[in-house]
Structure formats: structure tokens, C-alpha cells
């Protein structure tokens, strides 16, 4: 992947620092409720940090097209609220106990309160988005929410089962890449871009999101619990077949290897087969390398989609993002 004209991490941080700080303040103000549990849990979630990739994409798209209004701060908080709500619901569905190295909200407050706070964050995101008085903004957010809910249901129906690479790509688009795409489209909408340019920026977001999720799935198998902030190989424990696993199941050299993976997916734990054995199988079949190659391909396609964007520091930052995504370690 070309590194020509891309920014550095420090340059991107300096470029977005004030805007992201404003989004944090907006998120904090928007997440206040007269119901104490909502404010308490929302603050806990916000203080848990995160990369803030999605609002950063919205900012870069908007500013890259010459926009500098307050709408990008409001909508930056909106996409982060939507993202946070999805994490809360994911943790409840997966019965997760940790998130970013801290107790998950469902563990700390229970599933009943947590699911309602997740719902409240979704609705509050739409309330804030209404202030833009743009039909396209609501259209994008409604479509996004439907895609993510459908993706979650599709994944639940396929737990413990083999899925094809095509089905996997559809799932990760709905669950992850769709929000990256919409973040870029929202930035373009704020700046008054025509649909053709919005589509190109949306393609960038989609491809970046696909690369992001594939790398996430590889790290879930290979990184340590200390780095991830959650148990390793969570996807396999939950019966989810990710790209490295799918590759071995489709191309594994022996039936015994495929059977070992199927056993873990069915048992949803490393009882009969250990995590170390699965890693050895995936490495023998070069399945981790295959998945990373796919991530690099999506990252390169994301960079290519930026051709129509005018040259600026914001475009250079967008060119850097795919390199950050595929090189990260957590």
C-alpha cells in the first residue's frame, strides 16, 4: 500500500485534537439525563475511552470538503453515541464480562439497566441529529440502525455454524463497516457534497471498516488478554466463525484440522481442543496471513476511493487511516 502523501499519527492527532475534544464535551452534555442510572452508565462508557475512529472520519470528510460548522461536532457525538450503544448491546448478547480492560456495563449494573441505557443512547443520538434539520442525515442513521440490528440477528442465527466468506463479509459490513461508511457520508452531507462524491467517500468508509474488522478478528486470535482488554479468542468461544477460521474450514489440509475447529465452534469453548492448537492449525494453513492480505486489499481500495477528494491535510489524514488500521496491535 502506498505511503506517498500520507500524514503521520502526530499530524492527524494535532489536526483533530480540538474538534475531538469538542465532540467529547458534546457527548458528555448529550448523555446527561434526569435518571441517575443513565448519566452514571453513560459517563462510565465515555470514560472508557476508545480510538474515536468514527467521529474522526466524519470530521475529516467534512473538513476535507471545506465544512467548518458546529454540525460536525454534534454529528460526531451522534456517531459515537450510536457506536457506544452497539457495544453495550453486544456485551449483553455475548454475556461479556470485560470491555477495554474494565468490567462491562452488564456486569457492573446488570443486563436490564444496561440494555435500557443502550436504547436511550440510540434515541438520544437521533434527538441530537434532528437539530441538523437534514432529511439525508436521518435517512442515513435509520438505514444504519436497521443494518446493524439485522447484522446482529444474522450472527446470532449462525452461531456455532460454518459460514461462507461471502456471508462473513456481509456480517462485518452490517456490524462494523456500515458505521464507518455512514460516518463518511454524514461528513459529506454536512459539506453539501453531491451523491457521486458522497458515494466515493462512503466507499472509503466501507472498505476501511471491513479492513478494521478483519484486523480485529485476527487480533482476537493472536493478541494477549492484556493488550485486548478482554479474553482472547472470544469469537471462537462465542461460536463465531471469522475469516481466518473460515479460510481453514474451506481450505484446511486435513479433515482432522477442520474437525478440531468445528468442535470449538460447537462447544463454544476450548474444552476438547486448546486455543494453542487452533493457532497452530491456522498458521499451518496460512489462514491468518490470508485474512491480513484481505485487510490490506480493503485498505488499499479505501485509499484509492479518495482520488476525487481535493488535496488537503485532511485528505492526507484520510490516506493515513488505512495504514493505522492494518498496523494496529489492539
Quick one: pLDDT at residue 1? 47
Q: Contact 235/171 with Cβ under 8 angstroms? A: no
Note whether residue 67 is domain-resident.
yes
**How many distinct helices (H) and strands (E) make up the chain?**
17, 2
Number of domains comprising the chain:
1
**Nearest partner of 182 among 121, 140, 133, 212, judged by Cα:** 140
Give me the sign of the Cα torsion angle 274, 280, 286, 289.
positive
Note whether residue 188 is domain-resident.
yes
Note whether residue 2 is domain-resident.
no
The mean of the pLDDT values for the chain is 93
Query: CATH number of the domain that 163 lies in?
Result: 1.10.600.10
Note whether residue 56 is domain-resident.
yes
* 142 CB-side CA count, 13 A: 7
Q: What are the tens digits of pLDDT across the range 191-209?
A: 999 999 999 999 999 999 9
- Taking the mean position of all CA atoms in its chain, how far away is CA 214? 10
Note whether residue 4 is domain-resident.
no
Instruction: Over range 287-308, report the average pLDDT.
Output: 97
Say what the alpha-carbon torsion angle 47, 48, 54, 59 is, to the nearest 10 degrees: 30
Instruction: Over range 135-141, report the average pLDDT.
Output: 97
Kindly indicate the confidence band of residue 2, based on its pLDDT and cuts at 50, 70 and 90.
very low
99, containing H or E segment = strand 98-99
Note whether residue 92 is domain-resident.
yes
Domain range for residue 275?
A: 9-327
**Nearest partner of 81 among 40, 118, 34, 44, judged by Cα:** 118
Residue 139 neighbours by CB distance under 10 Å: 12
pTM above 0.85, yes or no: yes
Span of 82-91, 223-232, 270-279, 286-295 with lowest mean pLDDT: 223-232
Note whether residue 33 is domain-resident.
yes
Kindly indicate the confidence band of residue 5, based on its pLDDT and cuts at 50, 70 and 90.
low
Q: What are the tens digits of pLDDT across the range 105-133?
A: 999 999 999 999 999 999 999 999 999 99
Note whether residue 1 is domain-resident.
no
Q: Contact 31/39 with Cβ under 8 angstroms? A: yes
- Taking the mean position of all CA atoms in its chain, how far away is CA 129? 20
Instruction: Over range 286-303, report the average pLDDT.
Output: 98
Q: In the chain, what percentage of residues exceed pLDDT 90?
A: 81
CA distance 218 to 276: 14
Query: Has residue 3 got a pLDDT over 60?
Result: no
Amino acid at each position: 500500500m502506498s505511503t506517498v502523501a500520507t500524514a503521520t499519527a502526530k499530524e492527524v492527532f494535532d489536526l483533530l485534537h480540538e474538534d475531538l475534544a469538542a465532540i467529547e464535551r458534546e457527548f458528555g452534555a448529550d448523555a446527561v439525563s434526569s435518571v441517575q442510572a443513565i448519566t452514571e452508565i453513560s459517563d462510565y462508557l465515555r470514560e472508557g475511552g476508545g480510538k474515536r475512529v468514527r467521529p474522526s472520519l466524519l470530521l475529516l470528510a467534512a473538513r476535507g470538503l471545506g465544512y467548518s460548522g458546529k454540525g460536525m461536532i454534534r454529528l460526531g457525538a451522534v456517531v459515537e453515541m450510536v457506536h457506544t450503544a452497539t457495544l453495550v448491546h453486544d456485551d449483553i448478547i455475548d454475556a461479556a464480562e470485560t470491555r477495554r480492560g474494565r468490567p462491562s456495563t452488564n456486569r457492573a449494573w446488570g443486563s436490564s439497566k444496561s440494555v435500557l441505557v443502550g436504547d436511550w443512547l440510540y434515541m438520544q443520538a437521533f434527538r441530537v441529529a434532528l437539530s441538523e434539520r437534514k432529511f439525508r442525515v436521518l435517512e442515513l442513521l435509520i438505514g444504519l440502525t436497521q443494518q446493524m440490528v439485522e447484522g446482529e440477528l444474522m450472527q446470532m442465527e449462525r452461531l456455532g455454524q460454518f459460514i461462507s466468506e461471502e456471508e462473513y463479509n456481509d456480517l462485518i459490513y452490517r456490524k462494523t463497516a456500515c458505521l464507518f461508511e455512514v460516518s463518511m457520508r454524514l461528513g459529506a452531507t454536512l459539506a453539501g457534497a453531491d451523491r457521486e462524491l458522497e458515494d466515493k467517500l462512503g466507499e472509503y468508509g466501507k472498505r476501511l471498516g471491513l479492513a478494521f474488522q478483519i484486523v480485529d478478528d485476527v487480533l482476537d486470535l493472536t493478541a494477549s488478554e492484556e493488550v485486548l482488554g478482554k479474553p482472547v479468542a472470544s469469537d471462537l468461544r462465542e461460536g463465531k466463525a471469522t475469516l481466518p477460521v473460515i479460510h481453514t474450514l474451506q481450505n484446511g489440509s486435513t479433515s482432522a484440522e477442520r474437525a478440531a475447529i468445528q468442535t470449538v465452534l460447537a462447544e463454544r469453548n476450548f474444552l476438547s481442543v486448546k486455543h494453542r492448537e487452533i493457532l497452530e492449525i491456522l498458521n499451518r494453513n496460512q489462514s491468518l496471513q490470508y485474512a491480513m492480505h484481505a485487510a490490506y486489499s480493503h485498505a488499499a481500495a479505501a485509499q484509492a476511493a479518495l482520488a476525487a477528494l481535493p488535496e488537503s491535510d485532511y485528505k492526507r489524514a484520510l490516506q493515513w487511516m488505512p495504514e493505522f488500521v492494518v498496523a494496529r496491535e489492539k
